Chain A
């Protein structure tokens, strides 16, 4: 693909600005609901979560593909920021520690080799707390809890119905309940 075609696939900053100006009240509601989910993780107020994403889009840090809805573009920026934050490696666990006593003997066997992609335990804990809080939202409904478990594990709807032995209607009903409860919940940063 040549440079011109590539640039045509990306919105210009002016076009991004225009697209944001055209956001509807429903779009702002979507952004508020979505940003609440990551406010705790990012340790920011939901409005600041949205604001950071909008700034990244308007200053050109993030590029928007032409076929992407502006709200989906902002969701992607927020999700990416939160994912990066959550997957930050533990600087201590990933450091290579050299045993000074052995360093002069060229014996590298006592070097602490970092485990690849080790996630900071503190972030694991934050995520765990968040998940526990989400499960608490549906603690009164066994099916909804089980469906949430399948979502956590990344199962598709079809796989979940088969695994749990429930109908597609029951699955969708539980999923709807989960999402309505998520709408109303908010973990303070």
Chain B
């Protein structure tokens, strides 16, 4: 294809983009009327939407935990690459905590968000605990 911009794909996207703007800009009353004309029941749609949302929340939570676990394992692996078998160095411990926190802020930030304010011993202790937790979870 010499000119992808004139492809069927681009043409289809142009039509749908126009349609999506039309739907977004229409008033709620107009959309509800159009939905009814299209054979849809707005109340059923809202009910099934709420149920869809509940299911999606469960799956999303699972995905977040999986990402957190994977990110933490990567952080641990990077720490090992830097010859950190256990954390005795406060700077390396803080760096590891930061990597864990960045890899998934929602799950790990509760424990690690005050890492900057911790004294060296606490930072080393937390890094070692996180490290052990990762190892246990990966077994």
Contacts and interface: CB of A to CB of B under 8 A. Distances in A.
| Interface residues of B, dominant DSSP | helix
B56 A58 contact: yes
Interface string B5-22: 011111111111111101
B17 to A, nearest CB: 8
A144 interface: no
A38 B23 CA distance: 15
Contact of B11 (A34, A50, A153, A180): A153
Interface string B58-69: 011101100100
Contacts of B53: 20-21, 23, 54
A86 B45 contact: no
Interface residues of B, number: 48
Contacts of B34: 29, 33, 180, 183
Interface in A71-125: 71-72, 75, 79, 82-83, 86-87, 115, 117-119, 123-125
Contacts of A38: 16
Contacts of B83: none
Contacts, number: 157
A54 B48 CA distance: 13
Contacts of B35: 26, 29, 32-33, 183
B43 interface: yes
B7 A55 contact: no
Nearest to A7: B105
Give the interface centre of B14, B48, B67 by most chain A CB atoms within 10 Å.
B14
B28 interface: yes
Contact of B49 (A28, A58, A87, A123): A28
A87 B40 CA distance: 31
A60 interface: yes
Nearest to B26: A30
Interface in B27-49: 28-29, 31-32, 34-35, 37-40, 42-43, 45-46, 48-49
Given A55-B56, A153-B14, A28 B7 contact: no
Interface in A1-47: 13, 17, 20-21, 23-34, 37-38, 41, 47
Given A33-B23, A119-B7, A28 B46 contact: yes
Closest 4 CB pairs of A and B: A58-B60, A26-B28, A127-B8, A59-B63
